[in-house]
Structure formats: structure tokens, C-alpha cells
Structure 1
Amino acid sequence: MNLSQLEMFTAVAETGSISAAAKQVHRVPSNVTTRIRQLETDLGVELFIRESHRLRLSPAGHSLLQYSKQILSLVSEARQAVTGEAPQGTFTLGALESTAAVRIPGLLAEYNRNYPRILLDLSTGPSGTMLDGVLEGKLSAAFIDGPVTHPAIDGMPVFDEEMVIIGPAKQKPFTRAREVSGVNIYAFRANCSYRRHFENWFHADQATPGKIYEMESYHGMLACVIAGAGLAMLPRSMLNSMPGNEQVVVCVPEEPWRWLSTWLIWRRGVKTPQLEVMIELLQPRT
């Protein structure tokens, strides 16, 4: 096993294609295929499940990918430390939709200005999806709802979010869930931490939401609430950024449901140079 093989293996794992990986590592496809086969022979396992026109990681491949990324990251870090070069390469970052829309645009702009040799790749989604992405090595880091106690994850709190519940203009103000038990609610998919927080708010007060409608965006939630179709929970910072926010009633839930903390997380033991400079930029904001 050598660095060249690991670099090719990682490229194939990330792209799912020999030809795409060959372009990424500046080799011909036949060379990539040969080196991957040699690596599998050396290890005595198949690293990929080969399907028609795509390669899928095998269980052994998933395990190796985590180590491969750590090794390549350490090599890059060592090279930069010795040569004094600024961080470079790809930094795959995940974030909650509200965090990406409201909290980090200025941070990302500053990051791009200060480190132009880093290619920042941002994706958004619910906390569960972002956490899985970090654990699987698809994301270098992610902003998700915290605190995070997974044994394979390190992280730090970066933002405090005030959560509010919005209702249609005719909605009487409330603070407790039992006051609106049975009312329909709008939320993201089941792996969204904000949705779990909303449901737990009901259950803790021995109340039950009505039908839960799954939405794809906060703007969709707001539109449905304005139309009088139910309630939604979202960060106040997100609500304040959206046109039409003056058309809803804003209710603040009682403690401890009012506040949530947003964390920046990464896989334990894998703090890349790209991540370290992101943390440096975040320090004044914590």
C-alpha cells in the first residue's frame, strides 16, 4: 500500500467512477484500474462492489476510506508545515439550511478571501444527514444542532439559536404545547433535529401535534403558516431574514425549549489544515 494507491482509491470512492477519478488524479483510467486491483490484491479484500457503470464501496472499502483520508490529510499537513505553504485542496462542509442562509455567509466569504487555494464545497441538509456525512467521510466538517456526544465525533459550539414557533395571524399567543395540542405542524424530514425538538416540546407537555407535513424549505413552511394551515418551529434569525415574516404570530416557547446550540463538528482525530483555519476564523464569533 502506498500514497499513490490511496490517492487513487480515495478519488474513485468519492466519484464512483474510474474515468472521473482518473481526471481528478491526472492519470489514465487503465492506470487507475490497475492500481486499485493491486491494492485489493495486497489487502486481500474487494474494496468496491462493481455495478454496470458505477463502483460502490464495499464494507471493507468504507473502513479503508476513513483511514485513507486521514493519511492523505496528514501528508498534506506535513508538506504544508515543512514548506510553509498556505492550506489548499478541497474542504467539504455541511450545514443546516438556516445556518447556511443566515449565520455563515460572511464567514464563508472571509474564508474564500483569506484562503483562495482552498476549494470550498458546501452542502446543506438536516442534522442527521450532515452527521452521517461526517462519519462516512463525505464531509470534512459540518454545522449541526448540538451538543454532539457521538464517540467518533469532535466538535465545538459556535452559535446559540433562539427557536420560535410561528402561527397564522389569527392564532392566539401561547407558550405551552398543551395550548395547541392537535394542531397540524410543518417541519423537515424525520432526521431533522429541529423537527425532533418541536415534537419533543409537545410530548414533554403531554400534548400531541396533529398531522405532520414534511416540507423542503423554510419558505414553504412560512407560506403554509401564513395560509392558516398550522404551526412551524424555526430559528428566529431565519424567520427575520424571510419576506412575509410580519404576517405570522411569533410565540416563544418556555425554557428549556427556547434555545438550541449550533456546533461545528468533524471526525475525531481528523482536524485538517482546511478545518483548522475555519476554526480560527470562528473564534471571535464564539
Structure 2
Amino acid sequence: MEFKDLQVFQMVAKKGTMTGAAKELNYVQSNVTSRIQKLEAELNTPLFNRHNRGMILTPEGKKLLIYSEKILSLANEAKKIIRNSEEPSGKLEIGSVETVIKLPIILSAYNKKYTHVDLSLVTGVTEQLQEEVLNYRLDGAFVTEAGRHPDLIHHSVFQEELVLISDLTPTSFEQLKSTPFLCFSKGCGYRAKLEEWFKDEKITPSKIMEFGTLETILGSVVAGLGITFVPKSSVSYLEERGVIQCHSIPEKYSKINTIFIRRADTYLTSTVEKFIETIDFCKEETNYPLSFV
């Protein structure tokens, strides 16, 4: 069983077709097919169920996917440990909750200082990013704190004040509760906080509308489509321009922490260590909170 076979296997599982995996890996399809057949022959079991629309993992394939992620992560970690030095280098894959407002300050400071690091960023909601870190697909991620996971190390970043925002139409607080709620998908920490508040107050939203980007959500609020729940620092510029209203909520639900997470069982390379140091440095050097949504 070769590392490359496992990489191909993971890509087929992700894309759901040989064609999609071949395109992503820049391989000819016959190469992808032969590697999957080789794996199945070596393990003496089918790893995928084939159907008209593509391929899905068999129960045995699902087991192999879990182990393949661990194997490839350990192999990558071994390379990092052997190559590790005071000067960070190699790949650093970071995740962040949607949408980053001040994170460019951290990324820029790190990228300028450590030029041999290939830094990449992916975005998503808290639950999704936590799973990516737990499954060794990300070196770390900025997420909203929602309890301690035993397999993760948490680094505090900052605390945010959450507010309800609406357009400028004069509206009572009771009317706001019955207005459509605009949000990210399930797994978003801010949405979870609002749902906790609604549940305790026995409020049932008239409608929940999910969006993929903060820009779309804020534009829809300004247009009067509904309300949303965001860090105050991320919309202060809109409030100053006079296009939205901010509404305070009970303190129990308005405070939320943003943290940086990484796996507890992985070696702390200089690449990750220096990134954490950069976070701490930027916190101390800036007079405003770093804001994520």
C-alpha cells in the first residue's frame, strides 16, 4: 500500500468519480482507476459502490478513509519533524470561520516574516472546521468556542460582543423577533448563540434563511429582508454610515470567544508555533479586536 494510492483513494472518495479525481490530481483516468483496483485487490474487498452518478464508499471504504487520513497525516508530520528548524518552511493550512475581517493582519505579518511557508486559508462554519482539524486536514483553525474537545488544544484569541442588526425601519423589539432570521448554515457559532437565546425565551423564528457569505447577509439586512446576529465590531462601519441599526441582547447570549484550535496529539512544528506567536503579537500590537464572523 503506497502513500500515493491512499491520496488517490481519498480524492475519489471526495469527488465521487474517477474522472473528477483524475482532473483534480492532474492524472489520466486510467491511472486513477488502476490505483483503486490495486488497493481493492490488495485489501481483497471493494472500497466503492459504483452507480450511474458516480461512486460512494462501502463500509470497508469508510474505515479505510479514516485510517488513510491518519496515515498520511503522520507521514506529513514525520517530514515536518525531520525538516523542522528555527526557520519555518513547508505548507501551513489554516481554517477560519466566515468571514474574516482582521485576519489579514495576522496572515500578512506571518507571510512577510516567514517567506518559506506556503500558507493557505479555507473558510467554513465552526463545526465543519473543527472536524477538518480533528481529521488532520487542517493544521489549525479560528473558530467560535463551544466547549472543550479532549483532542484539541485551544488558544484564546479574543472575545466578541454579538448584536442583532436590522435595517433602519422603526421596529419594536417584539417585531424583530418575528422577522426572518438570516444566517450561515448549521454549525455556525453565532447562529447557535442566537438559537440558544430563542429557545430560552421560547421564541420561534418566522423564517430562517441560510446564506453562504457575510456580504450577502449584510446586503440583505440593509435591503430589509430580515435580521441577523453578528459581532458588533464587524458591522460598526455600517452603523456609522447610518444604513443599519444595532440592537443589544442579554449579556448571557451576547458574549462569545474566538479561539485558535489545533490537534493535541500532533507535533508542534516551528511553522505552527510561529503562527501562534504571530496571533499573540498582533493581539498586543493592535488597539482594536480581531473580528471574525
Q: Which residue of 2 aligns with 1:275?
A: 272
**Aligned: 1:96 with 2:93:** no
**Aligned: 1:132 with 2:128:** no
**Aligned: 1:230 with 2:234:** no
| Residues 163/12 of structure 1: CA separation in 2 closer, same or farther (3 Å cut) | same
| Residues 183/158 of structure 1: CA separation in 2 closer, same or farther (3 Å cut) | same
Q: Aligned ranges for residues 142-221 of structure 1 at < 5 Å? A: 142-172=141-171, 174=173, 180-221=176-217
- Do the aligned partners of 2:238 and 2:244 also contact (CA within 8 Å) in 1? no
- Do the aligned partners of 1:91 and 1:140 also contact (CA within 8 Å) in 2? yes
Structure-2 separation of matches of 1:209 and 1:105 = 35
- Do the aligned partners of 1:46 and 1:60 also contact (CA within 8 Å) in 2? no
Aligned length: 268
**Aligned: 1:65 with 2:68:** yes
| Residues 195/63 of structure 1: CA separation in 2 closer, same or farther (3 Å cut) | same
Shift of 1:170: 2.4
Q: Which residue of 2 aligns with 1:122?
A: 121
Q: Which residue of 2 aligns with 1:79?
A: 82
Structure-2 separation of matches of 1:232 and 1:142 = 24
Q: Structure 1: which 5+ runs fail to align?
A: 24-28
Which digits, 9 at most, give the CA deviation of each residue in 1:96-133, with x for residues without a partner? 123x2x13101111221222222222111111221222
Q: Which residue of 1 aligns with 2:17?
A: none
Shift of 1:223: 2.4
Q: Which residue of 2 aligns with 1:141?
A: 140
Which digits, 9 at most, give the CA deviation of each residue in 1:222-254, with x for residues without a partner? 222223332111112221355985211111212
Which digits, 9 at most, give the CA deviation of each residue in 1:21-75, with x for residues without a partner? 587xxxxx9699669947973xx46695376998877223222233224422332
Counterpart AA for 2:244 = V
Structure-1 separation of matches of 2:90 and 2:81 = 14
- Do the aligned partners of 1:12 and 1:20 also contact (CA within 8 Å) in 2? no
- Do the aligned partners of 1:144 and 1:265 also contact (CA within 8 Å) in 2? yes
Shift of 1:18: 6.2
Q: Percent identity?
A: 21
For the residue of structure 1 that corresponds to 2:229, the secondary structure is: strand
Between 1:253-262 and 1:110-119, the stretch displaced more is 110-119
Shift of 1:143: 1.0
Counterpart AA for 2:272 = L
Q: Structure 2: which 5+ runs fail to align?
A: 13-20, 285-293
- Do the aligned partners of 1:164 and 1:234 also contact (CA within 8 Å) in 2? yes
Return the TM-score normalized by structure 2: 0.76
Return the TM-score normalized by structure 1: 0.77
Structure-2 separation of matches of 1:132 and 1:267 = 11
Counterpart AA for 2:262 = W
**Aligned: 1:261 with 2:262:** no
Shift of 1:138: 2.5
Shift of 1:271: 4.3
| Residues 97/243 of structure 1: CA separation in 2 closer, same or farther (3 Å cut) | farther
Shift of 1:255: 0.9
| Residues 206/179 of structure 1: CA separation in 2 closer, same or farther (3 Å cut) | farther
